[in-house]
Amino acid sequence: MRRHQTRTAYTFLLVPLLFFLIVRFLPTLSALRLSLFDWNILKEQQPFVGTDNYQRLLTDGKFAQALKNTALYTVIGVPVQIALGLLVALLLNKIRALRGVFRALYFAPYVTPIVAAAWVWQWLFSPQFGPVNTFLVWLHIPPQNFLTSPDQALATTAALVVWQNLGFQVVLFLAGLSAIPRSYYEAAEIDGAGSSQAFWKITWPLLNPTIVFSVVTGTIAYLQLFTQVVNLNFTDQGGPLGSTTTVALYIYQLAFGRFQMGYASAITVVLFVIILAITLVQLRFLTRRYDL
Amino acid sequence: MNKVLALALGLSLASASAAPVTLTYWQYEYASKVDAMNDLIKKFEAANPDIKIKQETFPYDAYSQKVASSVPAGQGPDVVNLYYGWLPQYVDAGYLQPLPAKEFPTATIDSTYAPMVKTSKMDGKYYALPTAVRTLALFYNKDLFKQAGIAQPPRTWEDLIADGQKIVKGAPPRYTTLGFGIQPDGQDYHVLREVLVRQFGGQPYGKDGKTVTYDSAAGTKAMTFYTDLQTKYKLGVPNFFPGNNSYRDAFIAGKVGMIIDGSFAINTIKDGAKFNWGVAPLPVLASNPNEKDNFGSYWVNGITKNAKGDKLDAAVKFLKFLTSADTQRYWLENVGEIPASRSLAADPNLLKNPVYGPFIASLPYASSTVFVDEAGQRKAWVDAINTVLLKGAKPADAVKQAAADEQKILNSYYK
C-alpha cells in the first residue's frame, strides 16, 4: 500500500520534471552549445569557434561596463531594499489602526505594470517638468539631470526598482515578524531587556531565515535586472553612454538587436556561473542556527 | 520529413492547380501603412482573382527579430517589407531572391528611381524595391516664430541659431520652451553624418561604403557645430519630454521652435499639433550655400526564398503592383511617404505642396548610408555625441571614437 502511494507520487512528479527538462534545461544546454559558435542568425554558415566568444568578452569594454553596472545595482539595491523593508515592517507592526491600508499602499507599486511605473518615474524625475526638481529648486538646490546624466541615471533607475520591490519586502517581513511568539518579548521585558536589546537578541536572529531568503532572491533578481532599465531609458539602449546597461540588457541588444546569438549566449553562460557562485556563497555563509 | 512534405505539397498542387495562390505579406505595425496595404490588397485581388494576399503585421520593436528568426526556420512570408539598411544582412543570408531581370530591368530601375535607391543594388542586381522614400526637413512652429518676431524659417544654419536663441525660454536644464529640439538618437545623427560632414567639405564614407572617412577636419567641424547647438548656443536639451519620441512629442505639444524630422512624421504632427506649423528644407552653411545635402531612407519590398513556382509568379505580379505609379501616388496620399520614382517626384504640383515640397525637392541630393548593422552603427555615433554633450570631451576625440567603433563594425561584416 505504502509503496503504491510512493509510486503514484513519483508518477505525478514526473510531469513537472519532464516539463522543466524540456523548457528549462534543454535551452540552457543549447545556449552553452551556441556559445562555442559564431552563431549569427542571419548567416548561412555558423562556424565553430571554440572559446573565441569567451576571449572576446575579456577585452569587451561594454561587457565590463555592464558587469560593473549590474554589480552596482546589486550592492545598492539589495541592502537598501532590505533595510527599508524591515524598517517599514517594524513600524507597521507597532500600529493597529489602518495597518491593512498602509500595507496595501506599500504593496501597490509591486503589482503595478513596470511600463506604467517607469513612465511615472520619467515624469517625476524629468529635469524640466519633474516635481522632484521643482522641490529641489524650492530648497535652493540646483536642479539635477537624473536620467539624462551618465552619473545619476543608474541611481535613479535603482530607486525605481527598490520602490517597486519594497511592498513585497514589507509583506515578507510582516509574515516573519508574526511568526515570532509574543511570549519571548514578554519574557525579555520581565528580565529587564530594553527594546533595542529585544530587537538584537530576539527579532534579528529569529528573522534570519526571512533575511537570508530576501538576500538570496533579491541578489538573483538584481543580477538579472532588465525590464525597468529598458523601460526607463530611451530607445532601449540603456541610459546615456551605457551608464545603466545591465548584463541582461546587453545580452538582449546583442542577441535581438544585432543577431549575434553565439556571443550573447557566451555572456548568458558567464552570467549563469556568476549567479550560481554568488548564491552558493550566500547560502553557505548567511544561514545560521541560533540556539535560544 | 522534408520528402514527405514535398510529396504532400506536390499532391496538393497537382490536385488543385486551379486553386488560387495565397501569398503571405509581412510588414510592421504602423496604422496608416497597414490600412493602406489592406486597401491596396483589395485592389490587387480584384484585378488578379487567382491570387490571395494575406497581410501579417508585428510590433515595430519586435519586427526585425521576427523576420530574422523566420530565416533559419525556412518559414515566414513570401513578400516581405524590410528597412533598406538591413538588406546586406538578408541578401547574404540568402533570404531574398534577386528580382527577375525580365520584369525589373536593372538599367530602367537605375534611371527611373530616386538616386538613393541604388543603395539596394548588390553585385549589380536589385533584390528589393521601395514604393516610397523618406527624406528629412525642418519642421517649425509658426506661432512661436511670430511671437519672437521672425518672419521666415531659417535658410542657413546661422539663421537657425539666431532664430533658436530668440525662441528659447528658460535656462538649462529647466527650459520651458526650446529653440531647437536637439535629439542625437532621433534623426540628428543622420544630419550630422550625411549632411553636416558634407557641408563642411568632407565625405562620411568611402565610395564602396566599407570605410569611414569622416575622421577629418570636416568631421570635427561638423561635430563641433552640432554639439555647440546645446553647449554654446543653449538652444535646447535632448530628452526634453519623457519617452522615445521626445523631440517630436515636445514639438507637437507646442514647446519647441524647430525640429529636424523625416517625412514619415508628417501625419503624426498633422494629427497632433494644435498650432500653425510649416516645413522648410534643411539649412545650408552661409559659407557654402550651394552644398545642399539630405539623408534618405526607405522601406523596400522583396521576394523571399519561400516563393517558388506559382507563388514566385504571383509575388512578381504583386511587387510590380506595389511599385506602380498609381500605388506610389496612393501611398503618398494615405501614408505621407514620398514617391520613389523620379517622374512623380518631379511633378510640379507636388513640389509646390507646402508640406511635401521640401522633402521631395531634396530627393536628387539625398544620400543613403549603406548600413551593415544599423543598431550598432547608430550606437557608435550617439555615444560619441554624448561624450561631448555629457562628459565635455573634445569634438575631435569624439569623431575619432565614432570612426574607430564604426570601422570595427564594418570590418567584421566585410571580412
Three-state SS at A136: helix
Percentage of residues of chain B with pLDDT beyond 90 = 76
User: Is B236:B230 a contact under the CB 8 Å cutoff?
Assistant: yes
How many C-alpha atoms does B278 have within 13 Å on its Cβ side?
Answer: 14
CA distance B268 to B75: 34
- Given a cut of 70, the residues of chain A with pLDDT beneath it are 1, 234-236, 288-292
Closest of B370, B320, B343 to residue B100, by C-alpha:
B320
> In this complex, do A123 and B391 lie within 8 Å of one another by their Cβ atoms?
no
Residues 144-203 on B with a CB inside 8 Å of A are 170, 173-176, 185
Closest CA of chain A from B61, distance in Å: 9
User: Is A49:A33 a contact under the CB 8 Å cutoff?
Assistant: no
- Nearest neighbour of B238 by CB, restricted to A148, A237, A242: A148
B143-161: average pLDDT: 97
pLDDT at B244: 81
Find the length of chain A: 292
Interface check for B74 against chain A (CB to CB < 8 A): the answer is no
Closest CA of chain B from A111, distance in Å: 22
Query: Residue B119 pLDDT more than 90?
Result: no
Q: Is A44 exposed, middle or buried (0-12, 13-18, 19+ CB in 10 A)?
A: exposed
Nearest C-alpha in A relative to B174: A128
Instruction: List, for residues B4-51, the tens digit of each pLDDT value.
Output: 444 444 444 444 445 789 999 999 998 889 999 999 999 999 999 999
Cell of A50: 571554440
Cβ-based neighbour number of residue B99 at 10 Å: 24
Interface check for B327 against chain A (CB to CB < 8 A): the answer is no
Range with lowest mean pLDDT among A228-237, A246-255, B60-69, B340-349: A228-237
User: Is B187:B251 a contact under the CB 8 Å cutoff?
Assistant: no
Interface check for B94 against chain A (CB to CB < 8 A): the answer is yes
CA distance A24 to A162: 28
Instruction: List, for residues A25-40, the tens digit of each pLDDT value.
Output: 898 899 999 999 988 8
Closest CA of chain A from B58, distance in Å: 15
Provide, as residue numbers in chain B, all residues whose Cβ is less than 8 Å from the Cβ of A44. Answer: 92-94
pLDDT at B14: 44
| B330: confidence class by pLDDT, cuts 50, 70, 90 | very high
| B103: confidence class by pLDDT, cuts 50, 70, 90 | very high
Instruction: List, for residues A74-83, the tens digit of each pLDDT value.
Output: 999 999 999 9
Query: Residue B359 pLDDT more than 60?
Result: yes
User: Is A123:A130 a contact under the CB 8 Å cutoff?
Assistant: yes
Sheet with B297-303: strands ordered across: B51-58, B21-28, B79-83, B297-303, B128-134, B338-339
- Nearest neighbour of A143 by CB, restricted to B173, B376, B379: B173
B144-170: average pLDDT: 97
Q: What is the 3-state secondary structure (H, E, C) of chain B?
A: CHHHHHHHHHHHHHHCCCCCEEEEEEEECCHHHHHHHHHHHHHHHHHCCCEEEEEEEECHHHHHHHHHHHHHHCCCCCEEEEEHHHHHHHHHCCCECCCCCCCCCHHHHHHHECHHHHHHEECCEECEEEEEEECEEEEEEHHHHHHCCCCCCCCEHHHHHHHHHHHCEEECCEEEEEEECCCHHHHHHHHHHHHHHHHCCCCCECCCCCCECCCCHHHHHHHHHHHHHHHCCCCCCCCCCCCCCHHHHHHHCCCEEEEEEEHHHHHHHHHHCCCCEEEECCCECCCCCCCCCEECEEEEEEEECCCCCHHHHHHHHHHHHHCCHHHHHHHHHHHCCEECEHHHHCCHHHHHCCCCHHHHHCHHHEECCCCCCHHHHHHHHHHHHHHHHHHCCCHHHHHHHHHHHHHHHHHHHHC
Cell of B162: 539666431
pLDDT at A289: 59
Interface check for B387 against chain A (CB to CB < 8 A): the answer is yes
> In this complex, do B237 and A234 lie within 8 Å of one another by their Cβ atoms?
no
The Cα-based distances of B3 to A164, B7, B8, B17, B211 in angstroms read 54, 6, 8, 20, 46
| B2: confidence class by pLDDT, cuts 50, 70, 90 | low
B3 Cβ contact partners less than 8 Å away, ≥ 6 residues apart: none
| B152: confidence class by pLDDT, cuts 50, 70, 90 | very high
- Indicate the DSSP class of residue A98: T
Cis peptide before B173 (omega within 30 of 0): yes
CA distance A150 to A147: 8
> In this complex, do B185 and A237 lie within 8 Å of one another by their Cβ atoms?
yes
pLDDT at A235: 58
State pTM to two decimals.
0.87
Bridge partner list, B262: B136
Cell of B189: 545623427
B304 Cβ contact partners less than 8 Å away, ≥ 6 residues apart: B76, B77, B78, B79, B80, B95, B96, B97
> In this complex, do B242 and A41 lie within 8 Å of one another by their Cβ atoms?
no
User: What letters, b where the CB count within 10 A reaches 16 and e where it falls short, cover A152-161?
Assistant: bbbebbbbbb
CA distance A58 to B407: 21
CA distance B35 to A202: 67
> In this complex, do A150 and B391 lie within 8 Å of one another by their Cβ atoms?
yes
pLDDT at B8: 47
CA distance B163 to B180: 9
How many C-alpha atoms does B266 have within 13 Å on its Cβ side?
Answer: 24
Three-state SS at A23: helix
B343 Cβ contact partners less than 8 Å away, ≥ 6 residues apart: B112, B325
Instruction: List, for residues B179-217, the tens digit of each pLDDT value.
Output: 999 999 999 999 999 999 999 999 999 988 899 999 999
> In this complex, do B174 and A44 lie within 8 Å of one another by their Cβ atoms?
no
Beta pairing class for B128-134 and B121-122? unpaired
Residue found by looking up cell 530565416 in the block: B71
